[in-house]
Amino acid sequence: MYYVVTLATLVTMGLALIRAVRGPSVYDRVLAMNMFGTKTVLLLSIIAFLYGRPDFLDLALAYALINFIGVLAVLEFFRVRSLRRFAEIGEEAKTE
């Protein structure tokens, strides 16, 4: 039964990858990366049980905790960039 779920997760990862490669906007790629992260957590949990080594769930736990940081970094990146753009527009307005 685990195999069915693993297969579904893998196919979903493939679909998410298509979305990440096709885009079109950068946000679509971030969305795909986020999806990929959750799917990886599920995949790792299932494989830990498939291998009969449930003590390796630590890995899935690490991803569940840390994956979040990537998306926040993206948010901060866009915020800083838009702030800089506002500042540039302001300076241009001054010089004109």
Partner 1 sequence: MTTLLDVLSWVLLTLGGISVLIGGIGALRMPDLYTRMHAASVTDSMGAILVLGGIMLQAGWSLATIKLIAILLFLLLTSPTSSNALASAALLAGTRPIAERKQDREETP
Partner 2 sequence: MIVMFGIFLLTLLVITAIAIVRTSNLFVGVMLMGIASLLIAANFFILDAADVALTEAAVGAGISTVLFLSALALTSAQERSKSSNRLLSFTVVAVAALVLIYATFDKPRFGDPLAPVQTHVAPWYLENTPTYIDIPNVVTAVLGSFRGYDTLGEVFVVFTAGIGVLFLLGSGTASSSLPRETNNEGLRHYLIPRVVGRFLIPFILLFGLYVQFHGEYGPGGGFQAGAIVTAAIILYALIEGERRALAALPQRWLLGLMAAGPLIYGAVGIAGIVMGGNFLDYSPLASDPVGGQHLGILLIEIGVGITVTGVLLSIFHAFAARGR
Partner 3 sequence: MELLGLYNYWVFAILLMTGFYAVIAKLNLVKKLIGLSLFQAAVFLLYITMGKVDGGTAPIFSGAADAVFSNPLPQVLILTAIVVGISTTALGLGIVVRIKEEYGSIEEDEIQEIDRQ
Encoded tokens for 9:
């997760």
Q: Does 12 bind partner 2 (CB under 8 A)?
A: no
Tally the C-alpha atoms within 13 A of residue 92's C-alpha that lie toward its C-beta.
6
Q: Does 37 bind partner 3 (CB under 8 A)?
A: no
Q: Does 40 bind partner 1 (CB under 8 A)?
A: no
**Minimum distance between the CB of residue 4 and partner 2, rounded to whole angstroms?**
12
Q: Does 33 bind partner 2 (CB under 8 A)?
A: yes
Mutual angle of helices 2-22 and 26-50, in 10-degree steps: 160
Q: Does 47 bind partner 3 (CB under 8 A)?
A: no
Encoded tokens for 85:
């753009």
Name which of residues 18 to 37 contact partner 1 (CB under 8 A): 18-19, 25, 27-28, 30-32, 34-35
89 binds, among partner 2, partner 1, partner 3, none (CB under 5 to 8 A by kind): none
Question: Which residue in the set 31, 56, 64, 71 belongs to the binding site for partner 3 (CB under 8 A)?
Answer: 56
Q: How far apart are the first and last CA of the chain?
A: 68
CA distance 96 to 77: 29
